[in-house]
Structure 1
Amino acid sequence: MSLFSKILIYLISLILLLLLNIIEVESTDQKYSLETRYIEVPLDHFAATSSPKFFKLRYLINSKYHVRGGPVFVYTGNNGDISIFAQNTGFMFDIAPVFNALLVFIEHRYYGQSLPFGNASFSSPENLRYLSSTQALADFAFVIDYLTRSFYENVITHDTHPVVAFGGSYGGMLSAWLRMKYPYSVVGAISSSAPMFYFPGMTSCDLFYDKVTQVFEKFGRDQCVKTIKLGWDVIINLSKTKLGMDFISTTWKLCGRLKGPEDTETLLNWLGKIYVNIALTNYHYPTDLYTPLPAYPVKVFCDKLTTSYFNDTKGLIEHFGHALEVYTNYTGKRVCNNINSTNDDYTEFAYDYQQCTELTMPKCSTDADMFMTKPWDFEKYSMDCYKKFGVRALPPQWSQVTYGGKNLKYYSNIVFSNGMMDPYSCGGVTGNMSATVWAFNISDAPHHIDLRNSDVADNNYVLGARSFHIQAIKQWLNMA
């Protein structure tokens, strides 16, 4: 990028910030108000049958800023209730008045209220087999086709519907894949923090935990990483006796007491997920994407873990328990901590199934990072999937065959943005792939921060990313 281009982006970002600050005068409740709608979509988009089955897919819509003929901004829902993503994707609301846009957030099947078989959706492999990214993409295209016929039938020619897709994380993958697989549906896609290349054989398995460690080193300092590394052996050794397990269970306020090695392994996995989620959501202001968190939760966690002295293993466990409450009980309302994944936790269960069947992202840890040293074993992973879901993981080449792997040069009109302090950036698209498939890297930024609402403390890197998105959208809509 030339110096002139950088200066131009910077100036545009300052103007945008002033504009967005004016827009923010309206109340948050008004700004994020959404109407809930449902649409009947095919259970299986790819099977011809004499009696096709349908189910109700939820989508949310905001027409506050829409002017007849204006574009539609569609968020491709990912692994969770769509209302959560709508409330955490303020960028779309911020720019809607600029473009006179209609805002639509489409829920991913099997998440939130879009359950094909109701409460029985997760009861068997047979009912789960319609949960896939390919079916979800067809859902999105189906809804978009309905919306464009409803809003643009008499407004604009049928081959130029101004629909732009947005998505973050897995939703970012879906927004890009929607443009790649259904280019008729959307003119372009903003794909934030999308681990497009995070598949077996495409990204080294050790990079993810290495990036998490870098986040803790940068914001929590070296002593925090050393203490976390020390903690694994302390937990394992203490868990070898009933007294030790009881002490951890009580100190960490676990909902169920540890009873043996399997429970200890579950505890260790739970702890690792917390470290990852804190790193992913290390925003410079309080958030509630996964759970209520303070600003810079990595720093707050590490400060609680390392600022006072402990002289034995039990003291260390007490320090960990106190620090963990930054993530587990920041509001003080949680009675106990459930470390187990249960069938009642549909969101986690559904995404675990998807990771087994198509979204396998290899993770391994080494002596160089702050996690327990653990290799990646695809065969073991596949066997674990079979034990839990009755299905085996798809072969490693699935993503290459289905979505083209790293060969993106034949596609068009996609912006891939990545925060360089986002662990998933290790599998992201961080370089331009063609004349219209661009990458924008955001220094020092966590997970899809550019899709969040504007904040007075946003740095120039984040502002530059949003300005880049706006210019790309204008180009796609022939407004540039």
Structure 2
Amino acid sequence: LADLAVFHQYISQSFSLSRRNIWISFGGSYSGALSAWFRGKFPHLVFGAVASSAPVEAKLDFSAYSNAVGLSLMNEAVGGSEKCVSAVREAFGAVEALMFRNVSQVAKDFSCCQIPKDQQDQVELMQSLADIVMGTVQYNEESVLMSISDLCGVMTNQSEAYEEEREAYHRLVQLSQIYRSSSEEPCLDVSHEKTVKDLMDTTVQSERRTARQWTYQTCTEFGFYQTCEDASCPFSGMVTLRSQTEICLELFGITQNSLPGHIAFTNTYYGGDDPHTLRVLYVNGGVDPWKELSVVGNRTDGGEEAERVFIKDSAHCADMMRGRATDRRSLKTARQEIERHVRSWLKTAQQEEKRTE
């Protein structure tokens, strides 16, 4: 946020801007949270802020993410169904069961670079497979490769090629192959040791330098660990809070016991999901799992209703994407509503400026 303040100062000086030049901040996802927080901490620099899909509430155990994914997979309005989420749940159960009986077969089926013999590597595999489904749901129709409807089409397409009890398993294999071929990776890397080694690289040339920085922030500020220990989670129960937080200790010497204090401070400092900051517009999509950590309900800030736009069947940051003819009407309407809010802020700012002259 201090960097943004310096940027504001630099641009203002470079272009000889004055108080008549009104600033509105925009951001989506993490930068959406920064947009909201920038307005809260530097209200004299930005008159208003648009925060799209902004996770403003830090959360250690973000099990609600996986649960929200399951609900979106059941949402018929976006191409989901109960049959789809059942197939996903069955597939992950089948992978886990076969891994304990014949891990080499699992490694072969999913084209793993290594045989995941120890538990940490097995968790890496299960997380990688869950990421396919999570990412598809999170971005849905904004995704380049596949939407919820497409994913459910793969997972529920019946075939006589496989035995009935293995059907869901092989559908997940097929789904994994589709995603891996798009990434042009020769195999699926499931080595936890390699993950740690790559993230330990602090050189400028490191391909994982941004991932290391974000990992540090999750360990010291936000949490956001997408666990699967609840019965309603459609993925593998091997992805626990402990398995997710081990990386903090391995990379930075930060123990799990210290995390709650860090996260509590973040929420106290910024206000969590009830920040009481005026002129912040929170935009969220009903399909997006990150809405669980944003401002979506009826809240009041300083006696005024909190400004928010909720797009029922939209996904993560969809309002920030370039408009298309195929966009849902609700998304088109939401973009117009965002524009109306910003225009209203600018008008208010101009009126306040005139009163001070």
Shared fold, TM over 0.5: yes
State the Cα distance separating 1:196 from its structure 2 match. Answer: 1.4
The 3 A distance-change label for structure 1 pair 307 and 406 is closer
Residue 323 of structure 1, aligned match among 158, 175, 180: 175
State the Cα distance separating 1:360 from its structure 2 match. Answer: 1.2
Distance in structure 1 (CA, Å) of the matches to 2:68 and 2:173: 24
Q: Does 1:390 align with 2:253?
A: yes
Matches within 5 A, 1:164-183: 164-183=24-43
Distance in structure 1 (CA, Å) of the matches to 2:91 and 2:248: 28
State the Cα distance separating 1:400 from its structure 2 match. Answer: 2.6
Residue 224 of structure 2, aligned match among 361, 376, 383: 361
Moved more, 455-464 or 428-437: 428-437
> Which digits, 9 at most, give the CA deviation of each residue in 1:267-299, with x for residues without a partner?
11222222211110101x552xxxxx13x2x22
Give the equivalent residue in structure 1 for 2:285. Answer: 419
Q: Which runs of 5+ in 2 are unaligned?
A: 200-206, 352-357
Partner AA of 1:271 in structure 2? L
State the Cα distance separating 1:433 from its structure 2 match. Answer: 3.4
Q: Does 1:352 align with 2:202?
A: no
Structure number with higher helix proportion:
2
Distance in structure 1 (CA, Å) of the matches to 2:249 and 2:293: 26
Moved more, 351-360 or 318-327: 318-327
The 3 A distance-change label for structure 1 pair 381 and 402 is farther
The secondary structure found in structure 2 opposite 1:281 is helix
Contact 2:65 2:290 (C-alpha < 8 Å) held by counterparts: yes
Residue identity (%): 22
Matches within 5 A, 1:26-105: none
> Which digits, 9 at most, give the CA deviation of each residue in 1:234-271, with x for residues without a partner?
22222224xx2222222212222323333212111222
Give the equivalent residue in structure 2 for 1:475. Answer: 344
State the Cα distance separating 1:417 from its structure 2 match. Answer: 0.6
Give the equivalent residue in structure 1 for 2:271. Answer: 404
Q: Does 1:334 align with 2:185?
A: yes
Give the equivalent residue in structure 2 for 1:149. Answer: 13
Distance in structure 1 (CA, Å) of the matches to 2:163 and 2:295: 46
Distance in structure 2 (CA, Å) of the matches to 1:245 and 1:260: 10
State the Cα distance separating 1:473 from its structure 2 match. Answer: 1.5
State the Cα distance separating 1:180 from its structure 2 match. Answer: 0.7
The secondary structure found in structure 2 opposite 1:190 is strand
The secondary structure found in structure 1 opposite 2:272 is coil
Structure 2 length as normaliser, TM-score? 0.81
Partner AA of 1:418 in structure 2? N
Contact 1:414 1:436 (C-alpha < 8 Å) held by counterparts: no
Give the equivalent residue in structure 2 for 1:199. Answer: 59
Distance in structure 2 (CA, Å) of the matches to 1:416 and 1:368: 28
Matches within 5 A, 1:256-267: 256-267=114-125
Matches within 5 A, 1:89-238: 137-151=1-15, 153=16, 156-157=17-18, 159-200=19-60, 205-218=62-75, 219-238=79-98
State the Cα distance separating 1:406 from its structure 2 match. Answer: 3.8
Partner AA of 2:89 in structure 1? K
State the Cα distance separating 1:313 from its structure 2 match. Answer: 5.9
The 3 A distance-change label for structure 1 pair 301 and 325 is farther
The secondary structure found in structure 1 opposite 2:278 is coil
State the Cα distance separating 1:304 from its structure 2 match. Answer: 1.7
The 3 A distance-change label for structure 1 pair 372 and 360 is same
The secondary structure found in structure 1 opposite 2:80 is helix
Give the equivalent residue in structure 2 for 1:372. Answer: 236
State the Cα distance separating 1:464 from its structure 2 match. Answer: 2.0
Give the equivalent residue in structure 1 for 2:104. Answer: 246
The secondary structure found in structure 1 opposite 2:182 is coil
Distance in structure 2 (CA, Å) of the matches to 1:433 and 1:406: 12
Contact 1:163 1:187 (C-alpha < 8 Å) held by counterparts: yes
Contact 2:8 2:45 (C-alpha < 8 Å) held by counterparts: yes
The 3 A distance-change label for structure 1 pair 305 and 382 is closer
How much is the aligned-residue C-alpha RMSD, in angstroms? 2.7
Distance in structure 2 (CA, Å) of the matches to 1:428 and 1:336: 36
The secondary structure found in structure 2 opposite 1:195 is coil
Structure 1 length as normaliser, TM-score? 0.62
Give the equivalent residue in structure 1 for 2:354. Answer: none
The 3 A distance-change label for structure 1 pair 370 and 205 is same
Q: Which runs of 5+ in 1 are unaligned?
A: 1-136, 288-292
Contact 2:57 2:294 (C-alpha < 8 Å) held by counterparts: yes
The 3 A distance-change label for structure 1 pair 357 and 315 is same
